[in-house]
Amino acid sequence: MRLKIDVEAADGAARTGAVATARGTFRTPVFMPVGTRGSIRALMTHELASLTGADGTTPEILLANTYHLMLRPGADVIGELGGLHRFSGWDSMMLTDSGGYQVFFLDPSVSDEGAEFRSTYDGSTHLLTPEGAVAIQEQLGADIQMVLDVCAPLPSEHAVLRAAVDRTAAWAGRARVAHRRTADQALFGIVQGGTDAGLRRESAQRTVALDLDGYAIGGLSVGETREEMLPALDAALAHLPADQPRYLMGVGDPVSIIESVARGVDMFDCVMPTRLARHGTLLTDRGRLNIKRAEFARSDDPLEEGCGCATCTRYSRGYLRHLASVGEPAAASLCTVHNLTWMLSFVGRIRSAISAGTLDDLRVEVAAVWAGTGPGAAA
The residues carrying an active-site annotation are 97, 269
Cβ neighbors of 73 (< 8 A, separation 6 or more) are none
Measured CA to CA, the distance from residue 208 to residue 215 in angstroms comes to 8
Do strands 144-146 and 25-28 pair parallel, antiparallel, or not at all (unpaired)?
A: unpaired
Beta-strand (E) ranges in the chain?
5-11, 14-20, 25-28, 30-32, 34-35, 61-65, 93-97, 109-110, 115-118, 125-128, 144-146, 186-191, 214-217, 246-248, 267-269, 281-284, 287-290
Residue 120 backbone phi and psi in degrees, to 5: -75, -10
Q: How many CA atoms lie within 13 A of 364 on its CB side?
A: 3
Sheet with 5-11, side-by-side order of all strands:
5-11, 14-20, 25-28
Measured CA to CA, the distance from residue 252 to residue 236 in angstroms comes to 19
3-state helix, strand, coil in the chain (%, to 5): 40, 20, 40
Q: How far apart are the first and last CA of the chain?
A: 40
Residue 89 backbone phi and psi in degrees, to 5: 75, 20
Do strands 214-217 and 246-248 pair parallel, antiparallel, or not at all (unpaired)?
A: parallel
Cβ neighbors of 238 (< 8 A, separation 6 or more) are 201, 204
Question: What 3-state class would DSSP assign to 99?
Answer: coil
